[in-house]
Amino acid sequence: MTRLISPWISCLLGLSLPNSIPDCLDGAERENRPNIILVMADDQGWGDIGYHGDPLLTTPNFDRGAAAGLQFERFYAAAPVCSPTRASVLTGRHPNRSGVFKWGYSLPTSEKTIAEYLRQSGYATGHFGKWHLGSVRRSSPVHPGHHGFDQWVSAPNFFDNDPILSHQGKAEQHTGESSMVTVDAALKWIEGIAGYDLPFFAVVWFGSPHVPHEANDDDRAAYVDAPEAKQHFLGEITGMDRAFGKLRLKLSELGIRDNTLVWYCSDNGALPRVGNTGGFRGHKAKVYEGGLLVPSFIEWPAGIDSPLKIASRCSTCDIAPTLMELAGITPDKDPVVDGVSLVDLIHQKKTQRESPMGFWDFTIGGIKTPSAAWMGELLEEQARGGDLPPHVSSVNANGPRKPLFTEERYPGHAAWIDEDWKLHRIEANDGTVSWELYDLSDDPHETHNVIDNQTDLAHEMREDLQRWLASVANSYDGDAVKSPASETTSPE
């Protein structure tokens, strides 16, 4: 597959004087488009943040960011587990369309990412931290470099303190608290970019607060009255908050904070036992509200000059379409995109996201990706002068695949949200289907199934959900028949 090289990299390779780099960029590439930083937590639920009222947790930097900018009151991860949501952020598409069904599945390069769009329009692009969309070894066909990132310092999955990360395929041992290591890697790159007259796109994905919880002593010290397991969990979030605070401060010191859009969210709902769903039903791995709702806010002084709260329900699928509109990019016409641009909401021209949202947790197992073990093996092998191949799931990610779905069979738990109504479709392994309907405005915790009292509405929403499920299945099966190996975009 042919991948375009970023214009700024082309300039850099051809010039010896850094101050000459902007001369290679045309007027459109010098426009005052925002720098963009996407920050994502790993397993932070809706209630696992100070400004949502957790009785123990202190997150002053997250709280300041949310208070200064735009705060989403009901923001949904596209999936109740990690890898699928990450795919949705980069593509704007429901992850089942691309086959990223569960944790550990690779994102095929047939999926064009927001990083590729931005790079082609003149942005410098970098990924830092958890990847979890394929192997990060040098020969991997699905590492961040094959998805539009010029620079990457990444891990195949979650990681803890003193992590080994892959810098463009080279294993490097880092020292320090994991979230700070991630931010430091991003800031090192951002500082190098900031002197040039071009925008940048940085993806900063933390490995916390995923299990096992191993907080720094200083970070857990504030929670000594909590059980030990809870101390480490809350301490990891405090570590993330501290790293986020350093990111905000450095943007100010570099003089680029005003026109840098920072979008924060998490990849799925709260963990059972230690996490805080905010009282919503379910938790991580469930399609009920507690498994999907996550904290999210945007801080962008040049574009959001006063605090704003959005009550409309939005999702991680909306991130890519929003960023593309802000960057003045017209997307390709071929692939079905589930997300919508939120620019009119951000600029207060609208108050409601106008399209329904679909969710589908397909019944299939995940793929184990032991980051610490894999990165340790890679570090040792490269120290001996060798290298290691990627996991077979990444090797085969762009190859032919077989269709999975048959007509009217959509195994797993799906849901359809239309304004304040949420319809659940739960298909068991034997093909039997049960339905639930909730009025989220009156019953946000999904305790009263009113499907028998809303027959007309339920029928209409059922048909909408069935059509959407068929579209998602067709995206995957259509790609399977045609094989994404030779495609540059999805063939729908």
Checking if the pLDDT of 286 tops 80, the result is yes
Report the alpha-carbon angle 187-189-195, nearest 5.
100
Checking if the pLDDT of 488 tops 50, the result is no
Does residue 441 form part of some domain?
A: no
User: What CATH number did the domain enclosing 28 receive?
Assistant: 3.40.720.10
**Beta-carbon neighbour count of residue 248 at 10 Å?**
19
Does residue 447 form part of some domain?
A: no
- For the record, the structure tokens of 286 come out as 């469930």
Burial classification of residue 212, based on how many CB atoms lie within 10 Å of its CB (0-12 exposed, 13-18 middle, 19 or more buried): exposed
Is residue 142 within 8 A of residue 397, CB to CB? The reply is yes
Does residue 352 form part of some domain?
A: yes
Mean pLDDT over residues 365-389, rounded? Answer: 97
Q: Quick one: how far is CA 16 from the chain centroid?
A: 36
Q: Look at residues 303, 252, 248 and name the one whose alpha carbon lies nearest to residue 34.
A: 303
pLDDT per residue over 93-148, tens digit each? Answer: 999 999 999 999 999 999 999 999 999 999 999 999 999 999 999 999 999 999 99
pLDDT per residue over 192-239, tens digit each? Answer: 999 887 899 999 999 999 999 999 999 999 999 999 989 999 999 999
pTM of the model: 0.92
Burial classification of residue 222, based on how many CB atoms lie within 10 Å of its CB (0-12 exposed, 13-18 middle, 19 or more buried): middle
- For the record, the structure tokens of 458 come out as 């339920």
Whole-Å CA distances, 283 to 20, 72, 212, 445, 450: 52, 19, 17, 12, 22
Confidence of residue 253 (pLDDT cuts 50, 70, 90): very high
**Residue 49: which domain range?**
12-356
Does residue 404 form part of some domain?
A: no
Q: Look at residues 121, 110, 118, 188 and name the one whose alpha carbon lies nearest to residue 149.
A: 118
Does residue 266 form part of some domain?
A: yes
Q: What is the mean pLDDT of the chain?
A: 91
pLDDT per residue over 166-194, tens digit each? Answer: 999 999 999 999 999 999 999 999 999 99
Does residue 440 form part of some domain?
A: no
Please report the pLDDT score of residue 287 as a whole number. 99
Percent of the chain with pLDDT over 90: 86
pLDDT per residue over 49-95, tens digit each? Answer: 999 999 999 999 999 999 999 999 999 999 999 999 999 999 999 99
Checking if the pLDDT of 484 tops 50, the result is no
Tell me which of 25-29, 314-318, 465-469 is least confident. Answer: 25-29
Cβ neighbours of residue 459 under 8 Å, at least 6 residues apart?
none
Please report the pLDDT score of residue 179 as a whole number. 98
Confidence of residue 479 (pLDDT cuts 50, 70, 90): low
Say which residue the tokens 């890679």 belong to: 378
- For the record, the structure tokens of 205 come out as 């994905």
Does residue 434 form part of some domain?
A: no
Separation of alpha carbons 429 and 406, rounded Å: 14
| Tally of domains within the chain | 1
Mean pLDDT over residues 250-269, rounded? Answer: 98
Separation of alpha carbons 438 and 426, rounded Å: 14
Does residue 87 form part of some domain?
A: yes
